[in-house]
A and B are shown apart, each in its own frame.
Chain A
């Protein structure tokens, strides 16, 4: 059963179509790059998958389920915007995630936090912006989820932090799960991707295994992206 399956998926805001007739299948165990310029529909697709938006038409299924309480149990989502309450400490957050997600591994979270040198008792408001983002990523990656939806996980962070984030994703995700990483910073994520999906103006432009694409075109995914989305 595919982890994610979209059939003629459309999302409109008034007359504007953010996604149009998207047909897409993501198989288990794949790390997928959802690549496109700003405003191409990446975040809309991710929001539809985790039930933050409802489709205008078409269908989206996660492990055969429509977005809802059951599908949310299997999705681990990193939003584009940091959404953790800043009055909480890392220890509070570990308790919070543990309460709501049966697949959350508090020991893994504590281990990653201690390796970063983050005091479990420090309130998030006392941490730097970068540390807060890392704490959120740690909470997301400490789940043994079926699908990880990571919306711009490396947007707006320095190159060293990018390496840490990608390393955390690759060394912690459940190998039977799928990971969808939405980004426009292709060069940094290219090395970890199994499949790439190019999206533009709400439509899927290209979907292919990353190696096959590189072999066929004799270029890196980053170079192909630059050609496809040339202004």
Chain B
């Protein structure tokens, strides 16, 4: 059933997210044209204002893209599972776990696509023949580095895995805050925001305490004596960050599942 939930979740989110990403790419292309048009030329004031406006929209849009993606995913989770649509979704013959996973996987996918769209937008806005050539060169160099040593590919996968874990944990933290906030009879969004802030503070405190405890055990010195070179140090940091992210994600998941199962309050 997770596959079917994912299919419908993708469709539901795509009809809002794809136009947003498409508009961003279009604005980027227009910003590119605007910048080229104004470059060292004397243009009428109206054209100049329009071009400047497009560049400003592009810059603001670029900054807002991440927030828009988060806002859309948070709204989707709330509307689909915690408001009227919840009457349909929670009476489907699927587990709460499948419901949460479908939301988290699709949210993470959109976060990744938004990130990719931001990079692509920057490239589009700055693109000229020389830029495209330099991107091509950078890609070639990247492929050469990957082919040179299998460790480089491992490193790439480790970074990607860390990013995926980060996206999943971020999604789960929003979901957990919403699930707790919406179990209250009123002021649900306000309580959700407060819960989210409280979770952030608690998680930071817990991470600091864990780091101190790890330090006190002498484990860091032990690791330090075995870790030599940049790669090994990087891996140790990655493993530590992954463990913390996984622990935070697991706690958020447990909170979300518990509140959706035991304290669902759709009205």
Residues of A within 8 A of B266 (CB): 52
**Pairwise interchain contact A52-B87, C-beta atoms closer than 8 A:** yes
**Pairwise interchain contact B94-A77, C-beta atoms closer than 8 A:** no
Residues of A within 8 A of B261 (CB): 54
B8 within 8 A of A: yes
Taking CB atoms and an 8 Å cut-off, the chain B residues in 15-73 that contact chain A are 15
Residue-by-residue, is B88-123 near A (CB-CB < 8 Å gives 1, otherwise 0)? 101111110000000000000000000000000000
Q: Which of A23-31, A65-73, A207-215 forms part of the interface with chain B? A: A65-73
A101 CB to nearest chain B CB (Å):
7
Smallest Cβ-Cβ distance to A43: which chain B residue: B267
- How many residue pairs at the A-B interface have CB separations less than 8 Å? 52
Contact A52-B4, Cβ < 8 Å, known A69-B95, A72-B91: no
Complexed CA–CA distance, A96 and B80 (Å): 14
A149 CB to nearest chain B CB (Å):
9
**Pairwise interchain contact A52-B262, C-beta atoms closer than 8 A:** no
**Pairwise interchain contact A73-B91, C-beta atoms closer than 8 A:** no
Residues of B within 8 A of A87 (CB): 12, 15
Partner of B264, one of A53, A72, A77, A96: A53
Number of interface residues of A (CB under 8 A): 23
**Pairwise interchain contact A101-B93, C-beta atoms closer than 8 A:** yes
**Pairwise interchain contact A81-B84, C-beta atoms closer than 8 A:** yes
A99 within 8 A of B: yes
Contact A81-B87, Cβ < 8 Å, known A52-B264, A52-B266, A99-B4: yes
Smallest Cβ-Cβ distance to B262: which chain A residue: A54
Taking CB atoms and an 8 Å cut-off, the chain A residues in 53-76 that contact chain B are 53-54, 69-70, 72-73, 75
Point out residues on B near A: beta carbons under 8 Å. Answer: 1, 4, 7-8, 11-12, 15, 80, 84-88, 90-95, 261-262, 264, 266-267
Pull 26 A–B residue pairs with CB atoms less than 8 Å apart, ordered by A. Answer: A50-B91, A51-B91, A52-B91, A53-B264, A54-B261, A69-B95, A70-B93, A72-B92, A77-B91, A79-B84, A79-B88, A81-B267, A82-B84, A83-B85, A83-B86, A83-B87, A83-B88, A84-B88, A85-B85, A87-B15, A92-B11, A96-B8, A99-B7, A100-B1, A100-B4, A101-B93
